[in-house]
Structures are given as structure tokens and as C-alpha cells.
Amino acid sequence: MTRIALLSQRLANQIAAGEVVERPASVVKELLENSLDAGADRIEIDIEQGGGKLIRIRDNGAGIVKEDLGLALSRHATSKIANLDDLENIASLGFRGEALASICSVSRLELISRARSSSDETAWRVEAEGQEMTTAISPAAHPQGTTVEVRDLFFNTPARKKFLRTEKTEFDRLEEVVKRLALSRFDVAFSLRHNQRAIHHLHAAISSQEQQRRVALVCGPAFVENAIQIDIEASGLRLWGWVSLPTFSRSQADLQYFYVNGRIIRDKLVSHAVKQAYQDVLFHGRHPAFVLYLELQPALVDVNVHPTKHEVRFRDGRLVHDFLFRALHKALAGVRPQDRLAHDVQASGQVSAQGRELPGASEYQEVERGASTTGDFSGQGRISFAPGYGASQGYAFTPQSSTLYSGTSTQQLVSEQMATYARLHNENDVPPLGFAIAQLHGVYILSQNVQGLIIVDMHAAHERITYEHMKSAAQNEGIKAQPLLVPLSIAVSQAEADCAEQQAEALLALGVGIERVATESIVVRQVPVILAGADIEQLVRDVLSDVLEHGSSERIRNYQDELLGTMACHGSVRANRQLSIPEMNALLRDMERTERSGQCNHGRPTWVLQSLDQLDKLFLRGQ
């Protein structure tokens, strides 16, 4: 029989490393979090060969005093919490005290630090040797702060090393970690180099314009140009950041950053709320893009759910879900043509440092300065829409106008604003989407407005308008319900039956009459008229499981919306119908009045602008 023995320090740490140190990206995450916890505001990251060869992170944080250096590399040693109560109010990113020990056990790690508090002018280096990971401390040269160097990751655990992918894949993941943290701390400067090449160089971003610039550098300029900036507060919760317009969607959920109190998370409840908010406006199977920050009292959220802390638990999940859904839904509904256009006009006064090349015009490459238009002439060109607009009533959007013009003198600013105003208001009072001049191939309406040419997809536009009208009619008249000829009995779990019983009143308000008849059985007696032909049993089951999981269900409403959408689609002007000029103008005026009129029910854009500037460029005028 094998006898019981204590594991060596190194082996114990290697086992622990299995949980947190999966690949170079996880090492970078832990080290960066330590630098941020140490209060650094400048962090340099040097990587060689995807991180497998070298990860070196240097910060200007508080450093570690000589006496504590040995402990920094041992397991269950942390300066961040001292007792269980501290766990309730965690302000630091780390607190488990095992990252350095774990990383150290599977690599060649060296830490050099000079503490801020130390009167001592020298820095100290620490390394851990042998199976027991005995620490050796020696003097070194280093400015205030800490450098951690991790070489040859997994050199002593070949089985783990085999799981590493190509240098490029590992670097991509590592870069993603840097991006996430860079978006969480605008006040910290980050630089990232790979094989001596500069990849990112981000200055500290304080003003809202600088922050937006960082978002553009990290997420790409197109995202920022097609996003609305929001800042909403209610019931002790605050949500701010950037959300993409539905017309700027992605095939993957890869541009989604969500932070809770500065900590990035992936959470089912959050994704669900966001998905719901985009439900009605997003092209099928597409994903929205966002960089969002939720702030709430630390005691209302538990971060100690998962070792990598990617999951959180909200004390009141339902409140958070409803707040997120409402805030985003309203923000997206509020985008009207005039907001987008107004913003185009304003933004053209903006001096932006994000130069961009015009696609499709490479011989005449020119860095676009300031104009926020995408410069995409392919006909797919999206209307550009830099943040700050799309403001809807009742929401506090961060005022952008003060920063939009920085770089321009006050006098210039005033004269530009006056010119804009004059153009918009005195010149024959042209409405935002202008006046129709023609119909193209029975599909598009061409219209002239102050900025240039507006092209409207008339079917898409009409569909959205009809749909919104039908929805508000349904809302105003309430949901008409009708009793089922034969009540439908459904076998459910006890939890579902409990839920049905508790929610009976709320469901009735939506037109669904449910009664519990036994521990595990319910009966549906009435349903909304419009849903009469639907699979009621499936719908009720889905609703109950939504309510159990998320505390609420939008399913009945969504289902109804879907039906209305189909009806709207069939009832809308088809292509190849000749419209008269007054008919076209009526459609344009309707669009200006309608919520979400920027995209059809399937998330396609309903109109685009080709400004005179863009047309001039197309013809190389003034070059």
C-alpha cells in the first residue's frame, strides 16, 4: 500500500496552477491585475514568441518591501484581504494569493521590486528554487515599482506545454486580455510589445474624448463611429459606455465588453438582457457590439464565485436584468434620423486624430480628418454616427459637445455652430431627411437634404413604420384575450407550477390565463387573440422557464411582436410600386417621427446619406 506524504511546495503549486495558469494569456492577466492592484498608472508589457518564451511586465506601482518579497511567491500569501469580512467588499482584482506561486512553479520567474515606502535606495530581486521553492533574495537596480519576468512557461510541465497553440493564437489571446484591462482602466497607460514590435501604445485617457479615442484604438474606429454613448442612472445602478447601432452588428459575439465595478465579466443574465434589448432591431443571427460599465454598491454583487472571477452573482438579479434591458432598449429606440444627421453636421467640426484611409480609393489615399463618415463608397456605406447622440428623453447622455471641438478655437467653434444653425433652420427649413426628388428602379427613394443625398430603401422603411404603428396600437388598446374552447392542461415541474401560481396575475395582464390545478399540473384557459394560432403549450413552457431563470419573461410580448412584424412585412409597400412625390415625402416625414426607424425589422438599415463631401471625394473634387 502506498503511504501518505505531504506534497512538495512546487508540486502543490503546480497543481494549483492547473486552475489559474492555463496559457500565456492567463499569466498576463494575473500579472496585470497585480500591477493595477499596486496602484500603477504606467504598465509596460514585453512579450516574446507569443508569451511562451518571455512575458515581462513592468509597473510603477507601490512595489514590495524587502521583508515581504519571499512571501510574494508563496501560496496563500496576499496583502489584499485579512479576514472573511474583507471578502464582502473586495476592491482589489486579486485576493486569493496564489497567482505568483502558481506561475512561479511552472516557469522561470524573477521578480524585482522597489517599494515606494522604503527609505532604502536599492531594489531587490527574488527567485524561488528547488522542490520546496526556497526563495533567494539579492540586490538589483530598478526604479520604484515592480518588474515580473516569466520565462519558458511550462518548461517543467511538458504535458501542459503541449496544449499551447501557435505563437500567433497565444499572442491574440494575450492581446485580448490586455485590451480588456485597458478598457477597464482609462487612467492607466499601457504599452504592449511583441518580439520588439510595438503593438499598442495607449496613453492615460482622462477626458471623455481621450476615452473615446482609446475605445477606437482598442475596438477599431468603425465601432466608435457606429455607436451611441450612454450614461444612465436609476435605482442605485449606473450604466455607461458605448453600444453599437443595430446596423453595425457582427457575425460573432467578439466585440462585447461588459464590466461590473471595473471587473470584466461574462454573465448569462447580462447577455440575456442585452440580447432582449436588441431583439427587435438586430439582423437575425447577428451580434451587437458594446463596451459597457455597470456600477453598483460592491455589497450587491459577489465576485468570489469563480477562480478566474469571470462570473459574478448579483444579489438582486432581476433588478439588474430589468435595468439593463430598459436602459438599452430605450437608448436604441431613441435614435431618429435627425439625431444621426445632426451628429454628422456637428462631428464634421471635430478634429479627430484617428486618421483612416478611404477604402476603394487607394490611389488617392487621403487621411480623413474629422469627418465621421465611413467613406465607404461600395453602396453598403453605413451612415456614420459618432457617439454622444441618439439621446432620448429621460436619459442623461454624457455631454459631448464640449469635447467634440477641442483643437478648434472658440471663435471657430462659434462660427461653425452658427453656420450649422443657419443651414439647418433658415435655408427654407429643410426637414432632416429632405425632400424626395425621384424613385430609383422602384426600390429606392432619392431625396435631397441639407448635407447631400439621402437614399431610402422604401420597403424596409415602410415595414418598420407599419410595425411600430401596429405595436403601439396593440399597446394602447391593451392585449385582447380570448378563452380557449378547450382549456389546455400541461404537466410541469413543481417549481414551474409554483412559478405559474405566483405569476398568474402578471400573465393575465399579458392575456394569458393560467390556473394551477395540482402540484405538477396547470391549465391554460385563455390566450391573447393574436396568438390563437400559436403553439400555446410551448410558449407557456418557455415563459415559465424564462421567469424561473431570469425572473421575468418578454416572450409573450416578443412573440406577439414577431407576429406583428410578419404582418407588417406583408402589408408594406413592395418593391416596384411607383410612388408619387407626395407619397414619398409622406414616408420620409413618417420616418422622422418613428422610433427605431433607422433599421427595418430585420436590422437592415433603412436609409443612408451620401454627403456632398463624400460625393466631392468620389469625383476627386478639390484634391
**Could you list the residues that contact ligand ADP (CB under 6 A)?**
30, 34-35, 38, 59, 61-64, 72, 77-80, 94-101, 146
Closest contact distance (angstroms) between CB of 136 and ligand ADP is 17
Cell of 53: 518564451
Which of 482, 460, 494, 417 has its CA nearest to residue 608? Answer: 460
Q: What is the rounded distance in angstroms from the CA atom of residue 372 to the CA atom of residue 224?
A: 10
Closest contact distance (angstroms) between CB of 142 and Mg ion is 20
Are 287 and 274 in contact by the 8 Å Cβ rule? The answer is no
The strand order across the sheet containing 145-151 reads 134-140, 123-129, 108-114, 145-151, 54-59, 42-48, 189-194, 197-202
34: contact with Mg ion by CB under 5 A: yes
Closest contact distance (angstroms) between CB of 69 and ligand ADP is 9
Cell of 255: 466585440
Closest contact distance (angstroms) between CB of 78 and ligand ADP is 3
99: contact with Mg ion by CB under 5 A: yes
Closest contact distance (angstroms) between CB of 59 and ligand ADP is 5
Segment interacting with Mg ion, rule: CB under 5 A, options 47-55, 91-99, 296-304, 381-389: 91-99
Closest contact distance (angstroms) between CB of 127 and ligand ADP is 15
Nearer to ligand ADP, 62 or 588 (CB): 62
Cell of 376: 465607404
Taking only Cα atoms into account, the Rg of the chain, rounded to an integer number of angstroms, comes to 29
Which residue minimizes CB distance to Mg ion? 94
Which of Mg ion, ligand ADP, none interacts with 80 (beta carbon under 5 to 8 A by kind)? ligand ADP
Q: Which pairs count as long-range contacts for 535-543, CB under 8 Å and 24+ apart, including other chains?
A: 536/484, 536/488, 537/488, 537/490, 540/490, 540/512, 540/514, 541/490, 541/492, 541/496, 543/507, 543/512
Are 527 and 479 in contact by the 8 Å Cβ rule? The answer is no
Which of ligand ADP, Mg ion, none interacts with 150 (beta carbon under 5 to 8 A by kind)? none
| 3-state per-residue secondary structure call for 387-411 | CCCCCCCCCCCCCCHHHHCCCCCHH
Residue 274 main-chain phi, psi, to 5 deg: -65, -45
Nearer to Mg ion, 102 or 614 (CB): 102
Nearer to Mg ion, 38 or 189 (CB): 38
Closest contact distance (angstroms) between CB of 268 and Mg ion is 26
Nearer to ligand ADP, 100 or 274 (CB): 100
- Within 13 Å, how many C-alpha atoms sit on residue 75's CB side? 17
Which residue minimizes CB distance to ligand ADP? 94
Element (H, E) at 89: none
**Residue 599: DSSP 8-state:** B
Nearer to ligand ADP, 12 or 342 (CB): 12
Nearer to ligand ADP, 9 or 78 (CB): 78
Which of Mg ion, ligand ADP, none interacts with 561 (beta carbon under 5 to 8 A by kind)? none
Nearer to ligand ADP, 136 or 206 (CB): 136
Closest contact distance (angstroms) between CB of 94 and Mg ion is 3
Exposure string for 3-33, b = 16+ CB within 10 A, e = fewer: eeeeeebbebbbebbeebbbbbbbbbbbbbb
Which of ligand ADP, Mg ion, none interacts with 513 (beta carbon under 5 to 8 A by kind)? none
94: contact with Mg ion by CB under 5 A: yes
Residue 68's CB is within 10 A of a number of other CB atoms, namely 14
Which of ligand ADP, Mg ion, none interacts with 545 (beta carbon under 5 to 8 A by kind)? none
Nearer to Mg ion, 96 or 272 (CB): 96
SS3 assignment, position 300: helix
Nearer to ligand ADP, 57 or 544 (CB): 57
585: contact with Mg ion by CB under 5 A: no
Which of Mg ion, ligand ADP, none interacts with 98 (beta carbon under 5 to 8 A by kind)? ligand ADP
Which of ligand ADP, Mg ion, none interacts with 202 (beta carbon under 5 to 8 A by kind)? none
Which of ligand ADP, Mg ion, none interacts with 95 (beta carbon under 5 to 8 A by kind)? ligand ADP
Site residue total, Mg ion (CB under 5 A): 3
Closest contact distance (angstroms) between CB of 119 and ligand ADP is 18
Strand positions, DSSP E, 400-505: 435-440, 444-448, 452-457, 481-491
Closest contact distance (angstroms) between CB of 299 and ligand ADP is 21
Q: Return residues touching Mg ion (CB under 5 A).
A: 34, 94, 99
